[in-house]
């Protein structure tokens, strides 16, 4: 999945990790050392995209 800023016609992240279950939202970013450039995290049902790099 990609995240695109439509108003600026720009790709915000090429790879997005989706947290769409209780367990994945609970874990969140724990245990992640880092995100490579171009990655982000999307939490559902919060409907927010968090660019990490």
Rounded to 10 degrees, the C-alpha dihedral 14/46/24/15 comes to 0
List the chain pLDDT tens, one digit each, 53 residues.
Answer: 888 999 999 998 999 888 888 888 888 788 888 878 888 888 877 656 666 65
pLDDT, position 40: 84
**Which string of b and e fits 7-45 if b means at least 16 CB within 10 Å?**
eeeeeebeebbebeeeeeeeeeeeeeeebeeebbbbbee
pLDDT at 1: 83
pLDDT of residue 9: 95
Full-prediction pTM beyond 0.75? Answer: no
């Amino acid at each position: 999945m990609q995240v695109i800023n439509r108003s600026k016609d720009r790709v915000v992240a090429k790879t997005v990790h989706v947290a769409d279950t209780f367990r994945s939202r609970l874990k969140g970013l724990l245990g992640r050392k880092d995100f490579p450039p171009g990655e982000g995290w999307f939490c559902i049902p919060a409907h927010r995209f968090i660019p990490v790099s």
